[in-house]
Structure 1
Amino acid sequence: MFIMNIFQRAYLTFAFLALFITLHPDQVEAVEIVKKECTYHFNRVGAVPGRASCQYNDFVDFACEPTSCLTKQPRGFESLYYYGCHASDFSADRKLVHAAQYVRRDTYASVQDWDGSWWDCPYNIPGHHNDQYLVCTDCYYVPPKP
């Protein structure tokens, strides 16, 4: 009988330990998939590997499936171009910038080309959509790093 009590206590101890680990609130976190407008910033390389970064302000970041991101035209992120751009110090011009990421300002967008160079692209270029931004439909919130 003594041996049965020892096994029963050990069994209960392991059962409670397994239950505690399973039900611990930090074990599983629900991810809510949302649609976000990247009106402040977009980067094809986000904090989460394989996902893009989409921000509607400077403080809140969302990880998005890059193929879910389109402009209103609709064009995918890999086909996002800005026109009539210049270097921030006005030392050079570039007619066409293939956007790898952008940061939208009041009257222009700061755009990084896929070659790594940065350009300022005014919104008021006639016949072009330099005021464009991406809208991503497969996103989730990324908490800031501590």
Structure 2
Amino acid sequence: MTDVDPSVHASFYWMSSQYHKSRQEFAEFYKNALLYLAYTTVESLSDSFKLDLAFDLSLSALLGDNIYNFGELLAHPIINSLLGTKPALVANEKKLLEKINILCLMEIIFSRPSEDRTIPLSIIAERTKLSIEDVEYLLMKSLSGVML
């Protein structure tokens, strides 16, 4: 089908996201809600709707199976609706970012063959969007958690 109005796609993905949300299928909700946003302008949404959707997306990103890369969500303007609010996600931003980076590190490690797990710091820095110094801290923090 060519030249399908974007609102048709938006409606489909919105309904699909709500179905998966009701079934607590977090990864599917996350995927469909982001696809909904791909066909919708953020400016057309009310502030309360944006806040609720940003919160639901953030929570589903944390709870969804096999979701380790939050780059698409963090780069989307919808996430800005959480700024200046008091949700627990915003209040614990530093802790969440640390967990996200540890999950990203795990994904980098376990996506490679077991015989190829010597990974340069530069690759970890590139994938996590951290500086080399922050990668070193991340590795120390990750290893200290494993040793406890």
TM-score range, shorter chain: under 0.3
Higher relative contact order (CA 8 A, sep 6+): 1
- TM-score normalised by the chain length of structure 2: 0.24
Q: Which of the pair is proportionally richer in helix? A: 2
Q: Give the structure with higher Rg (CA).
A: 1
